[in-house]
Structure 1
Amino acid sequence: MATLEAKNFWFCSRNHLLLWALGRYFPQAQNFLEIGCGTGFVLAGIEKAFPKLTLSGSEIFSTGLAFAAQRLSKADLFQMDACKIPFEEEFNVIGAFDVLEHIKEDRIVLAEMYRATKPGGGILLTVPQHPWLWSQADDYAHHVRRYRAQELKTKVQRAGFKIVRMTSFVSLLLPLMLLSRSQQQRPQLNYDPLSELRISGLANSILGKVLDFERAAIRLGMSFPLGGSLLLIAKK
């Protein structure tokens, strides 16, 4: 992942979307915590775009933190269980990007995020969407669920947050995604989980341009009802 995500259209497009959302909805934020920061790809983008922001990154797997430390120059990195966040009203913004779907007790995580967020602050979330897109890729990634929009909305609200924006993304590529996932319904003995990330430079560029257009529409206020993923912004 660490060698592929920096050039892959999906990861780069998601980063651009998150950077826009952070600046648009939390312009006064002074600090930011990412839960499940993995190899630090998102945090590295935030560090470059918002140099005055105090950054922290947590990860339950220490191996990921070693990669993150190589990418980041000033973020505070530590190992943490998202179900037991050791902070109280500490952060202006907390992000969890394609993390909640791995955790059975997602309600506990959202409650912990609420407790660790400062009043007036909020959260940024991305999760995979639509149970009908479930495939071998989800099994391999140890996903517990793919979310329905209403399910995520209800869980976030019950944690105490007020939702300010919610939209699907990777929406314009949904037909291609559905085709790809339909081919993975039956388990493959030699399944390669990274095969979707290894695409030609031309295809990668074209798909990236499509998501650039989609992101422009989201920035203008359009919310997509369907898509491979969900973006949710909520405040405390």
Structure 2
Amino acid sequence: MNIEYELKYHQIEENYWWFQARRDMVFQLVQDLRLPVTAPILEIGCSGGPLLQRLSAQGYRHLTGIDVSEAGIAVAQARGIPNVSCMDGAHLDFPDASFDLVIASDVLEHIQDEAQALREWTRVLRPGGQLVVFVPAFQFLWGKHDEVNQHFRRYTAAHLAQRLHQAGLQVRRKSYWNVGLFFPTAAVRLLKRLLPAEDQPLKDDFFATPPLLNTVLRGIITAENRLLRALNAPVGVSVFALARKAA
């Protein structure tokens, strides 16, 4: 990840509407699994640990977090979050069948060898263990935000499900996420392709939001999250899947 963007990410991830809404959705998916609080859970790409903090507050006692970013792990450790370490998400230093749940939010697109990563994630799952994975959606939405994030690809729901199946996982659910911003995002990115190329530094899509706007935007996506409890969305800026390792 671009070092300037990485520092920005760790500064805004706790309170920025987009990160808050995505954490809400991940947390909702975890809650719906009804795992015992003793279940061992691994978050790949834990960054500064806000999701781990929320899961801990809910009573989950065996949480582990890893991130390739030393800066992110330093933030998590400064917050007093235990069991976090710097580790490559495609080469896990854990024994086979270590976890009941693996969570990876916007990680897979950063890893060049996605098959290797998914094999590792499957390996550390216990039989019957589950994976929650989020990735950016649709290659035609590719933009400078992807480049500054050092992404290798974006996904369709079918593409993601196929990769999970190839890794030996059973896909229980797949859906797009962040429907409300899909059409404006698509319009802006497609329009930029029609305009003359600008000779400017790469820039991410995260823009400063006043507190009121931050609250409104989070509220819109959070309302979508509630609908996604029962429905699967046909389009979105992101896509997620819930997959299971055979018992």
Fold match by TM threshold 0.5: yes
Equivalent in the alignment of 1:124:
132
Q: 1:72 to 1:125 in 2, by over 3 A?
A: farther
For 1:211 and 1:28, how far apart are their aligned partners in 2? Answer: 28
State the partner residue of 1:231. 240
Correspondence list, 1:87-166, <5 A: 87-166=95-174
Corresponding position: 1:11 with 2:19: yes
Q: Give the alignment partner of residue 200 of structure 1, picking from 202, 207, 210.
A: 210
TM-score (norm 2): 0.87
Q: 1:35 aligns with which of 33, 44, 49?
A: 44
1:78 aligns with 2:78: no
TM-score scaled by length of structure 1: 0.91
Structure 1 residues 188 and 181: alpha-carbon distance in aligned structure 2, compared to 1, 3 A threshold: farther
Q: CA deviation at 1:216?
A: 1.1
Find the aligned partners of 1:22 and 1:72 in 2 and give their Cα distance. Answer: 23
Which one of 54, 68, 71 corresponds to residue 45 of structure 1? Answer: 54
Task: For 2:224 and 2:151, locate their aligned partners in 1 and report how far apart those are by CA, in whole Å.
Answer: 26
Gaps of 5+ in 2: 1-8
Name the CA shift for 1:232/1:134 in 2 (closer, same or farther; >3 Å).
Answer: same
C-alpha distance in 2, partners of 1:46/1:68?
A: 14
Larger displacement relative to structure 2 (138-147 or 82-91): 82-91
Residue 10 of structure 2 aligns to a residue in which SS? coil
Aligned residues: 232
Residue correspondence of structure 1 range 176-187 to structure 2 within 5 A: 176-182=184-190, 185=193, 186-187=197-198
**How far 1:176 sits from its partner (Å)?**
2.4
Moved more, 62-71 or 151-160: 62-71
Deviation at 1:59, TM superposition (A): 1.4
Unmatched segments (≥5 aa) in structure 1: none
- Give the share of equivalent positions with the same residue, in percent: 25
- Offset of residue 229 of structure 1: 0.5
- Alpha-carbon shift at residue 187 of structure 1 (Å): 4.7
CA distance in structure 2 between the aligned counterparts of 1:135 and 1:188, rounded to whole angstroms: 15
Q: Structure 1's 196 and 62: CA in aligned 2 closer, same or farther, altered over 3 A?
A: closer
SS at match of 1:3: helix
CA drift at 1:174 = 1.1
Q: Work out the CA distance in 1 between the residues paired with 2:228 and 2:106.
A: 19
Cα distance between partner residues in 2 of 1:192 and 1:126: 22
